[in-house]
Amino acid sequence: MVTLEPLRADHADALLAFERENRTYFARTVPDRGDAFFTPVGFAARLRALLDEQHARVCRFHVVLGEDGDLIGRVNLVDVTDGSAELGYRIGEQAAGRGVATAAVARVCRLAAADYGLTSLTAATTRDNPASMRVLTRNGFTRVENTIVGGRPGLRYARRDLAFTPPAPPAFSG
| pLDDT at site 171 | 53
pLDDT along the chain (174 residues), means of 10: 91 93 86 76 90 96 95 97 96 93 95 95 94 96 92 94 63 54
Confirm if 79 and 51 have CB atoms less than 8 A apart. Answer: no
Query: Which residues are paired to 155 by β-bridges?
Result: 125, 146
Query: Which residues are paired to 116 by β-bridges?
Result: none
Q: Give the whole-angstrom CA distance, residue 113 versus residue 46.
A: 27
Q: Give the whole-angstrom CA distance, residue 79 versus residue 34.
A: 22
Confirm if 60 and 116 have CB atoms less than 8 A apart. Answer: yes
State residue 151 phi and psi, 5-degree precision: 85, 5
Confirm if 104 and 75 have CB atoms less than 8 A apart. Answer: yes
Domains and their CATH numbers in the chain: 2-173 (3.40.630.30)
| pLDDT at site 145 | 94
Q: Give the whole-angstrom CA distance, residue 46 versus residue 52.
A: 10
| pLDDT at site 154 | 95
